[in-house]
């Protein structure tokens, strides 16, 4: 797994086991979340929906599912029609034997929105999901209202920032992989110490997405669909949201996104790692809602 660019996909390690304060966040009153399925290009896609108003699509990353958004869906759904979906090959969606790459996910996002009869929406993507959201905005600019890239992947240079051990750990094939990646992913130790490791490994065992992960990593290694020299084409209001203590995809990459997307805003969350929506849910929600409101 040399391409190191797989590092971008790692952002969504299932290491993200929600601790007690997340549960409190989830208990905040908000519109009920409803599980649904839709068929896209012959594949069954699972998604959850809550709230009313302008559509807000949440895009997860490698080895993750809609659950990664649980802490932030209730407050977001108080003002928007929030839809989080399991990417093809992940979660409760079908897992066909495709040669997965970012363009695959872009096509399925396009098909997903068409099936739901959503002509345009705002997108929020974390890690690999941020890469997918940015690539979708490049392919279908007329269908994107606003774009939020949270600790996003997509640059070739990220490969050079990673080492062999991290690349291998991205497979999440053992508890040692999870222990190694934990400190790189989270600022708060409670996310990767003690029983969190066993819980995360248990999730990986039952996820059933190893084939998808392997194909995505192969694509990353090949350098498919990189965003290099393309981001200047994005002309939608864009927020770059980054955890200051992200050691998987360092803040320097967020600053580069900010520099290359004209008119973009950069919001840095202190004492937070690669997954602000889980580790710093209040700060994440505040930043997203403020941006979506101000951008109107």
Torsion region of 154: left, alpha or beta (phi above 0 gives left; psi -120 to 50 gives alpha): left
pLDDT at 8 over 70: no
Average pLDDT, the chain: 88
Architecture of domain 6-294: 3-Layer(aba) Sandwich (3.40)
* pLDDT, average across residues 227-234: 97
pLDDT at 29 (0 to 100): 58
- How are the residues of the chain apportioned to helix, strand and coil, as percentages rounded to the nearest 5? 45, 15, 40
pLDDT tens digits for range 14-24? 333 334 334 44
Cα gap 50→133, rounded to integer Å: 20
pLDDT tens digits for range 129-141? 999 999 999 999 9
pLDDT at 200 (0 to 100): 87
pLDDT tens digits for range 14-68? 333 334 334 444 444 567 899 999 999 999 999 999 999 999 999 999 889 999 9
Question: pTM score, two decimals?
Answer: 0.89
Q: Sorting pLDDT into bands at 50, 70 and 90, what band is 210?
A: confident
Q: Sorting pLDDT into bands at 50, 70 and 90, what band is 102?
A: very high
Q: Where are the beta strands (DSSP E) in the chain?
A: 34-40, 43-50, 55-59, 81-85, 121-126, 144-150, 238-243, 265-269
Q: Sorting pLDDT into bands at 50, 70 and 90, what band is 223?
A: confident
Torsion region of 223: left, alpha or beta (phi above 0 gives left; psi -120 to 50 gives alpha): left
Cα distances from 282 to residues 58, 114, 287, in angstroms, run 16, 31, 9
* pLDDT, average across residues 204-208: 91
- In the chain, the largest separation of any two C-alpha atoms, in whole Å, equals 47
């Amino acid at each position: 797994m040399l391409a190191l660019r797989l590092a971008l996909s790692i952002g969504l390690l299932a290491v993200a086991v929600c601790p007690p304060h997340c549960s409190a966040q989830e208990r905040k009153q908000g519109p009920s979340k409803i599980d649904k399925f839709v068929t896209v290009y012959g594949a069954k896609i699972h998604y959850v929906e809550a709230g009313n108003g302008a559509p807000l699509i949440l895009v997860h990353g490698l080895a993750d599912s809609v659950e990664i958004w649980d802490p932030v869906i209730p407050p977001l759904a108080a003002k928007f029609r929030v839809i989080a979906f399991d990417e093809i090959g992940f979660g409760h969606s079908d897992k066909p034997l495709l040669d997965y790459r970012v363009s695959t996910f872009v096509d399925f996002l396009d098909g997903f929105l068409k099936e739901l009869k959503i002509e345009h929406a705002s997108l929020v993507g974390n890690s690999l999901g941020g890469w997918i959201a940015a690539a979708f905005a490049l392919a279908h600019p007329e269908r994107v209202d606003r774009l939020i890239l949270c600790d996003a992947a997509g640059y070739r240079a990220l490969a050079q920032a990673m080492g062999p051990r991290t690349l291998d750990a991205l497979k999440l094939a053992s508890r040692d992989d999870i222990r190694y990646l934990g400190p790189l992913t989270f600022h708060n130790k409670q996310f990767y110490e003690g029983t969190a490791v066993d819980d995360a490994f248990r999730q990986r065992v039952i996820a059933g997405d190893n084939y998808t992960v392997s194909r995505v990593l192969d694509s990353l290694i090949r350098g498919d669909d990189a965003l290099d020299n393309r981001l200047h084409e994005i002309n939608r209001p864009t927020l770059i949201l980054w955890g200051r203590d992200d050691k998987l995809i360092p803040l320097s990459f967020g600053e580069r996104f900010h520099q290359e997307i004209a008119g973009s805003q950069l919001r840095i969350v202190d004492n937070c790692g690669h997954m602000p929506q889980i580790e710093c849910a209040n700060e994440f929600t505040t930043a997203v809602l403020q941006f979506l409101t101000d951008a109107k």
